[in-house]
Structure 1
Amino acid sequence: MSRSLRRGALAATAIVFSIASLSACGAGNDAQTLGVKPDTDTVAVDGVKIQNALVITQPKAGEGPAVVSATIFNSGREEQTIDSITLPGTKATVKLTPATGADAVTVPAGGSVILGGKDNASAVVENGSEAGRVGDFQEIVFKLSETGDVKMEALVVPAKSYFSEFGPTEVPQPTAPQPGASGSPATGASKPGKPGEPADDPAKGASTAPSDAASASSSASHGAGH
């Protein structure tokens, strides 16, 4: 196991309980999140503190989006917005989406905001293959409206176990075609006959009508002549 993978495994174990605690916390001046002690590296710039940052990939190796999950605290007197998140050294594009009903991803004054998880703001790495390898650390830059850039390293983990609630939506796998879904003959199509027998003719039976009409016309003409 590589050094980065060993380090990643230890860090992943350490942050599990911290994430579980944060998912149950709210935002505000007396939010429980303000009293949570982080189990991972914490980065603080001015009045902004970021902890439990993760890059969470698909639960199974393959294509699909990843997400950035983190908790951002603001001890200042003014609210701030998270304007962008970037992953230096990659071509990844991170799409920020506010929580339902919000206009922006805002960190309230004296409060916090959680990225990832149900009903929270999200940061989706649309080209997830650029998010890094599981077990490694990826540099992340959070750009806030007042503080500016806040840099830190985040562990890359798959959306399994405790991380599944904060991870990306799993990419649906293609389903196998159902028997008879294609290639079956259309209803009413003519059936081939057995060897030595003529095939069924859809027009059979219709051809007698013109002949009968001609006979009737001939009889009528003969009668008129007498």
Structure 2
Amino acid sequence: MSEGTIRVVLADDQPLVRAGLRVLMADTAGIEVVGEAGTGAEAVALAGEVRPDVVVMDIRMPGMDGIEATRAIKARKDTAGVRVLVLTTFDDDAHVYGALRAGASGFLVKDMALDDILGAVRVVAAGDGLIAPSVTRRLIEEFAARPEPAPAPGPPPVNGVTDREREVLTLVGRGLTNAEIAAELYITVATVKAHVARLFTKLGARDRVHLVITAYESGLVAPPR
């Protein structure tokens, strides 16, 4: 294995899905599949054994599902740094929020283009969250359907941030890219990146996905009704 290679574990109960992903990644420089798991429990054990950079995790697996497996991987001290990229289908939307809350750094849709799948693995391995505006809208819709009370009236409970950082967080929550936020606020992209970096630190966020969730849960972004 060469320096800088992204080490990946594939977790899916369908051997054909794993085989397809393995072939795709085997032909790609800089990505190496170091293990496969057919259940969530196997994925957790394998993550502890081989310490991959990324686990591509299916949601629907027998026994321990992908959400519980993600939570278990992120909860363990020896695997807390492993990034989880959830593999889902369009009818899994009800589980996407749970997967992100469990610690996933983003998700793949099973019918994505091959180049997009490889790009997603690289993005997550680099420490970024993968959440496109279209994905964000679906996440909002699912969040809105959850049987939870609406946030109480008053200022959103996001403490220790400046007014500008709050504006940036709101726009991140709406799914805007850094370039779009810069245009919206009439500032440079570099300034947006600096604000996002400070938000990571101040809010203890793992990545951009976590910032999106924080924006919804704090009431900065109102789900559509």
Q: For the superposition of Structure 1 and Structure 2, which TM-score range results when normalised by the shorter chain?
A: under 0.3
Please say which structure displays the higher CA radius of gyration.
Answer: 1
- Higher helix proportion: 2
- Higher strand proportion: 1
Give the alignment's TM-score, normalised by structure 2: 0.22
Higher relative contact order (CA 8 A, sep 6+): 1
